[in-house]
Chains A and B, each alone.
Chain A
Amino acid sequence: MAICTPGSQSDEKETSRKPKDTKFKQQKLPAWQPILTAGTVLPAFFAIGVAFIPLGIALLVTSNGVMEKVVDYTHCYDKYDSGTTCASKLESLGTNVSGYVCYCEETFRLDEDFPKDVYMYYGLSNYYQNHRRYVRSRDDNQIHGDTVSASTLNSDCEPYKTKTISSSDTRPIAPCGAIANSLFNDSITLEFNRNENVSLSSTGIAWFSDKQDKFNNPSSWDGFTNPPNWNDRNVYNLSDNVNNNGYINEDLIVWMRTAALPNFRKLYRKINHEGTFVTGLPKGNYTLQIEYAYPVTAFDGKKSIILTNTSWLGGKNPFLGIAYIVTGCLCVLLGVVFLIIHIKYGKKASEMINVTSKTPF
């Protein structure tokens, strides 16, 4: 009656739908399973503490070693019209400010020698170079030296994209956009003890990559006009130095790299360490000769000149050092807290294990 199933066993196995018994498919891959409890992470906290505190101290020492002199010249007095500040002078001119230059002096004293290398920065505050429209208001192709016309210019450059010279002649602006238009145009020189000019270098202040590749002069300047705020200056006569003129003018390049925050500083000049200043800036009295042309009062801004020598870390800023020390201390403190918790509760955990293994759930 009963007849044995003929399908040989091997046949069935070949076509079996049994899932493959691999460690991956069965989710049994060897795993590292750290159980994060106070006991296991204690060393990590102490390790972080041990690493961070000395590092923080080193950072703080480095930062403290940096010399810095900030000279705010926003409200400096007109050299030729004592009693009025250049700021108020520019303000009184209102929108016709372009082209007007007010001359003023700021004298300050360095109490200590500034070892080399010393840099001169200009600082602007309350200046929103990171405003979305401002940031976008440029044409990278144009400053790259590519051929652009009024129509191919980035439309974000508006309203500084084209300028109507006469009713029949509308020309593209070179360089277009609000950033270029608002180029910082104060000229500053530094005198030591009122008699010796400190030699300043206006090259080598921009990123090498910018100067080399990102900014290039076009084959011809014809057909372009200058930004409205530049008065009669043109981009091709920003400097006498051929290698620092046009789009590759480093002042322009530095300005075009828009600052991240509303209070920012930008590298203005490098001190040429020669003569008296071969080892740096000796202590003594200094005078800044300023051609004051950049209005900042409209937005309650401030202008300053910063003389500083930088460390490997950068400028004078104790924040990182303090942050490291505080974090390091916090970790050590937490380590201690966890040690206590571990002593108090760690035992409990082991008891708990015993309970679980014996009690049937």
Chain B
Amino acid sequence: MGNFFDKTNKSGPKFRTVVPNHVVGPDIPSKHKNHPNRDYRSNRIKTTKYSLLTFLPKNLFEQFHRFANLYFILVVALNWVPQVQAFGKEIAMIPVIFVLAVTAVKDAFEDFRRYKSDRKINHHTCRRYSSADRRYVKSEWMEVHAGDFVHLSCDEIIPADILLLHSSDPMGVCHLETSNLDGETNLKQRQIVHGLKYQGNKFAVEKFKYNVECELPNAEIYKFNGFIKLETGEKVSLNKDNLLLRGCTIKNTDFVEGIVLYAGHQTKAMLNNRNPRYKRSKLERRINRDVIYCVILLLFLCLFCAIASGIWLNDFEDSTTVLFIPFESLEWYNPYFQAFVVFFTYIIIFQTVIPLPLYVSVEIVKLGQVYFINNDAELYYEPIDKRMECRALNITEDLGQIEYIFSDKTGTLTENQMEFKSCTIGGTDYPHTPEFEEEDDFSETGSRYSLANISRTSSVMENLKLEPGLEREISRMCLRSLNSVNLDLPDTSSPNSQRIQEFFLLMAICNTVVVTHHAHEDLMDESGSILDGNFKGKNRSQDDLDKVSRSGETPQKKSLPILNIPDTPVQRKGVLPPLGQREAGTPPLTKKINGQPSVIGNIPPITISNSGDFERLREFGMSTPSEGSIAGSSFISDGSQQSRYEAESPDELALVRAACTYGCRLMKRSVEKVRVWLPSEGEVEFEVLEVLQFDSTRKRMSVIVKNPNNKELVMFTKGADTAILGVLHRKFKEDRELHKMVKDTEQHILDYAMQGLRTLCMAKKILTRMEYEEWKKKFNEATAAMEGREEKILQVACEIEKDLELLGATGIEDKLQEGVPETIDKLRKAGIKVWVLTGDKQETAIQVAYSSKLIGQKDQVLIINANDLACTKDLLEHHMQQIDRDTSGQTQSSPKQKKQEYTLVIDGRTLAYALHEQMEDIFLQLAQKCTSVVCCRSTPIQKGSVVKLVRDKLNKLTLAIGDGANDVSMIHVADIGIGISGQEGMQAVMASDFAISRFMFLQRLLLVHGHWCYCRLARFSSFMFYKSLISVLVMFWYQMYSAYSGSMQFDSLYTMLTHVVFCAFPPLVNGVLDKDLSSETLLKFPHIYRMGIYDTQYTRFSFFIALLDSIYQSIVLYWVAHFAYDSEQVGIWEFGTTQMVALILIILFTGAIDTYSWIWPQWLTMILSFVFFWLFAIVCHAIWFTFDHPANPYWVMQNTLVKPIHVITVVITTVLSLLPRFVIRIFQRTVFPDDIVKAQLWEKSQHNRRNSSHSIDTQDTGDIISNHESRNDVHESRNDVRSSETNIHIRNGGSTKTTTTIA
């Protein structure tokens, strides 16, 4: 309805008007024609496809869209033509009905699950304002309509898209966790609509009488425009910061109130719900090709038989006199007409050449495979309690054929856990050489990652070894402030100290980090009644430290579930005693501070280290501070135990924590103010004038603040080096000293990048009031713009972000995930080419590529950086020639030497040229010769187009893996998209086919499950073809002896049931469970994976091999019985029954020959299948029934069985049929063993050795362990290895360390 309304207004203003429902009054129902919001959808959602009534027709209609189903329906229909009819009409329908029924049951089940989840969601409750009761009442989500007011508490899920009008926060701010929507776990800040006037200046629902004009419903989560027209005619603009989106969770706010703008299916969350797309796997494409061969074969067989039947009939001089040719009318004796009719009869008879159950069974097999992948305990990641998730159900076997992997770097190869590593300030490098290596403790267990979802709300301290030089500087500042030295005497400090302080100040405030202190309580209970009348007023007055300290006393329980995290590794491991005990064990140092009243107003107390504190610090494993240092002092003032930082990105958190460690502590942030504790000045409250958020175009963010001391307006900017260094003030080029500083800083940045650190540049700018006012005007205009707002803001922001003064730069380390190097190593050995596509700097990318073994130590690195097309071309060609020269030289000189491997490194700009139409072929040629490729500084679109290029041009199977929104395009494009359910949210996962939680799981997913799934499905499909071919061919041979009349020796019931019942289950079980090699072996010999890449299991010839074998077997099957019964009195049904028994046996045994391992489900289905067939035949033939059968099969099976000739014929037929396949298999495996057989033999030898010696060969099984160690080695080699003794100390003392102070 809403849609209809919207469409009719398309020409008019594209806005919807929402009238508050309490204005309309309680008498008019929401759907009444006088209701202004009547056309907007309610909040009830329905994601089901069918209802009880529509299920059958709708589902059938959908199923008939599939070609295969349509074909079989046509065949069934053909069977109803009396002249053509070959089978009993009803029997012919069995398989089709079976297939349709299985699919329908599957669809119904899926739909039912959707229905159940819909119902659950619709019955959620929330507090909706009832204009009748004049208060909030408890109501269900589906009762919410546009225009309703909703009251939400902390941690409550938002039921619809709501315009935020009131928040318990005095600044009108509220925080959202959007993980349900986009998966990002960081908190997003939302603001109430400012500028609305209420009577008495206090918001109340009844006072809100404005109509809200807003956009039509759309799917763009990050965009929202609208306005509220005031009585004065003034417009208050609304933007995305005012909108609470359905599905998100309220955080850090006691309660909020707002008006519903979009409900139900018109919410942005619902509009974003897209169905998973349908991908077809490579193997399935092959299968489809072979199905076409089947069609050709079918046509050939039918044509052959039709012509032969005409010829046969033509041979009789007067066929009307022949007793056994009973045609109804004379014209039927015309051979041409007969040939024509018989052709269609044969299409029905031979229909099973096209394996009807193939598609259904392939889907069932894949479901089974997915079940086992999902249930693999080794793909489960304990720290975040996530298992492997297969989102696409039909491309499991593609996992076994991947040739190219495109990986994101940050968050995929690395942890996305930022650690502040070093900084350069004013041209001086302060490398933070690690005192100890604590990370290894938890990188082993991976527990560090357990914080993934909460890491951004980490406590204030960074586990950082302070750099002595900086420490000295800062301590000097502190001393001055403590001794109340005149604050404006900067000249006594080193020239750099001012810059250092500013540098840390920038780190502390130029961000969006929020400090939280207390638990959130809403005084309104679930049913909407308010528990405490004074509640609102009280909240108002809490905007000071009292509140903080007061709430510090409030029970912790409430806030605990949200965000508090132990910060030390030891605590993370859960070694620490529970909360109470730890509280008791809080070191005296903290207590002392807490016990001490503030010395100078709000400025926290600072104590100079005493010997006692020194001792403690020793215990913590920190180096004794050099003379004059302030180590041991505490900067902690108020109830800091409850303070936590909540940041939008881990980088920011790392910076703030580092700044805090250096004593520059962010204490409180609100929209307009930010309170910081500075070493030299104590607590200072800056007025925040403007925040220019980070965006990917500018690649920087800025904060404009007013210094309360000297009233100076300062802009702090941080961003990528390219984004900052380019907009420095002129003097940095002209002034020699400053120029040198820039050069030094650049050098340091390069050094950091070489170490694999992520770099950020820091700069500031002092603004004059005039300058600011002028700019502010423009900025306000830009923000108020209705259209093109983003671009305008961008433009204005760039206007002020120039002529900056460089302060310095930071290097942040993003640790490699555990297991990454060996995973990449294994994947490379498996013949997979790994490309890393990253937005990082080239140096960083190369460094990470080295440490993750993407580039081997002996590899040659080809770097391509060019500024134009021609240059790119030259470089590409040059490298091509070089490689050609190298390889040709190599083959001549020493062919045995290991092949030189190349790595291509290309940066984003050059990549843009390389992806140019003229260049892509050369680029690909070169890239193909390289074992790995690193693309740095690449944009999300480039990532997608690189994948597309490889996928389409090289026609290879590609896999893209990433964790962030910037990887979505390549995940979409690749044959297989894998999302890492990590820190950056769910967008990647939502777009992916498979979701894993660690990069290292990729090796198990591909090498083990990929291999298994591919091999199983390859064998399964060729078996399915074989199965249908043999049963058709055996009937074909019989045509030669039955006048090409379309006679079948088999009961038509059996023909139909063979594929859906008698021979259906063993291949299914094999397809899901058969295991050629154990997972350990597959991981040990990654090169086995190559058989998937080269497609050795299901080749172009697989179908023809199946065809050849089925031709041979059917010949044996037919003629052995033919000759054996030659001098017998044998009826057509006894003859057929004997062949049927042999046929079932042959099919089952042929499947058995290609079974690698036998576990009980295989034995069971195999034996049961035959026994069932056998008993079915006996029972069926013992019952008198004339179920449209050419002749009643009464007692045929029994009469056949009693004759010994039956068993003798069946035995010889079976043995003779299986002989060639068996012999060829043995011959292959003995003389030309493939990798699987070799590995199987190896497995067996290991097993034997183990049995004989009763000891595990550590050298063999320890492979993974040793790899793990080597990974640690890599890490340690970069840092100093500390003695193990120190490590132990840290483990024991770590907890106390973080609760006290920085060192």
Contacts and interface: CB of A to CB of B under 8 A. Distances in A.
B677 to A, nearest CB: 14
B445 to A, nearest CB: 15
B387 A18 contact: yes
Contact of A260 (B380, B1049, B1216): B1049
A5 B380 contact: no
Interface centre among B564, B1159, B1189 (most CB of A within 10 A): B1159
A341 B1230 contact: yes
Contacts of B345: 132
Interface residues of B, number: 127
Contacts of A144: 1184, 1186, 1192
B1205 A361 contact: no
A48 B1222 CA distance: 14
A320 B1229 contact: no
Nearest to A299: B322
B1244 A345 contact: no
Interface centre among B642, B1086, B1229 (most CB of A within 10 A): B1229
A26 interface: yes
A344 B315 CA distance: 58
A3 B641 contact: yes
Interface string B1204-1245: 110011001001100100110111011101000111111111
Contact of A259 (B386, B1085, B1130): B1130
B45 interface: no
Interface in A132-162: 132-138, 140-141, 144, 155, 158-160
B1199 A209 contact: yes
A244 interface: no
B326 A2 contact: no
B421 to A, nearest CB: 22
B1042 A131 contact: yes
A80 interface: no
A53 B763 CA distance: 96
Interface string B511-546: 000000000000000000000000000000000000
B927 interface: no
B571 A2 contact: yes
B316 interface: yes
Contact of A133 (B1045, B1260, B1298): B1045
Contact of A345 (B578, B1158, B1159, B1231): B1231
Contacts of B375: 19-20, 25-26
B379 to A, nearest CB: 8
A176 to B, nearest CB: 11
B46 interface: no
A293 B1156 CA distance: 63
Contact of A129 (B324, B561, B1160, B1212): B324
A258 B326 contact: no
Contacts of B1240: 33, 35
Nearest to A268: B1129
A41 to B, nearest CB: 6
A165 interface: no
Interface centre among B316, B1045, B1046, B1086 (most CB of A within 10 A): B1045
Contact of B1230 (A94, A136, A295, A342): A342
Interface stretch (A217-225, A232-240, A282-290, A308-316): A308-316
Contact of B1041 (A141, A181, A262, A323): A262
Interface in B1176-1203: 1184, 1186, 1189-1192, 1194-1195, 1198-1199, 1203
A277 B1226 CA distance: 58
A357 interface: yes
A26 B377 CA distance: 7
Contacts of B1085: 356, 361
B328 A32 contact: no
Contacts of B566: 2-5
A30 interface: yes
Given A32-B1158, A41-B1226, A17 B1042 contact: no
A338 interface: yes
B870 interface: no
A327 B1041 contact: no
Contacts of A230: none
Nearest to B1195: A209
A319 interface: yes
Interface in B432-475: 459-461
Interface stretch (B99-107, B849-857, B1131-1139): B1131-1139
Interface string A254-273: 00011111111111000000
B1231 A27 contact: no
A12 interface: yes
Nearest to A344: B1231
Interface in B538-580: 556-557, 560-561, 564-568, 571, 574, 576, 578-579
A20 B374 CA distance: 11
B141 to A, nearest CB: 24
B361 interface: no
B326 A134 contact: yes
A266 B1152 CA distance: 40
B376 interface: yes
B564 A314 contact: no
Nearest to A184: B323
Given A6-B579, A134-B325, A356-B1085, A261 B1212 contact: no
A213 interface: yes
Nearest to A346: B1230
A123 to B, nearest CB: 9
B385 interface: yes
Contacts of A353: 1238, 1241-1242, 1245
Contacts of B560: 3, 5-7
Given A137-B326, A356-B1242, A3 B380 contact: no
Interface string B1149-1182: 0000100111110000000000000000000000
B385 A327 contact: no
A27 B1045 contact: no
Contact of A6 (B561, B571, B643, B1190): B561
B1073 interface: yes
Nearest to B1078: A28
B1230 A4 contact: no
Contacts of A259: 1129-1132
Given A17-B380, A33-B1158, A353-B1245, A207 B1199 contact: yes
Contact of A140 (B1046, B1084, B1192): B1192
B556 A37 contact: no
B286 interface: no
A327 B1124 CA distance: 15
B1087 interface: yes
B1242 A127 contact: no
A338 B1227 CA distance: 8
A267 B1079 CA distance: 63
A314 B568 CA distance: 89
B377 A18 contact: yes
23 contacts: A6-B557, A27-B372, A33-B1244, A34-B1158, A36-B1222, A36-B1229, A59-B1208, A131-B325, A133-B1045, A178-B326, A209-B1195, A214-B1194, A258-B1131, A264-B1130, A265-B1127, A266-B1129, A314-B1203, A314-B1205, A320-B1124, A327-B1215, A346-B1230, A352-B1233, A356-B1238
Given A4-B571, A213-B1184, A338-B1230, 10 more contacts: A2-B1299, A3-B560, A29-B1159, A34-B1158, A36-B1222, A37-B1226, A128-B1043, A137-B326, A317-B1123, A361-B1086
Interface of A: 1-7, 9, 12, 16-21, 25-27, 29-39, 41, 48, 52, 59, 68, 94-95, 121, 127-138, 140-141, 144, 155, 158-160, 177-178, 181-182, 207, 209-210, 213-214, 229, 257-267, 295, 298-299, 312-317, 319-320, 323-324, 327, 330-331, 334, 338, 341-342, 345-346, 349, 352-353, 356-357, 361
- What are the 7 tightest A-B residue pairs by CB atom distance, in nearest-first order? A178-B326, A260-B1135, A209-B1195, A3-B564, A182-B323, A31-B1157, A315-B1127
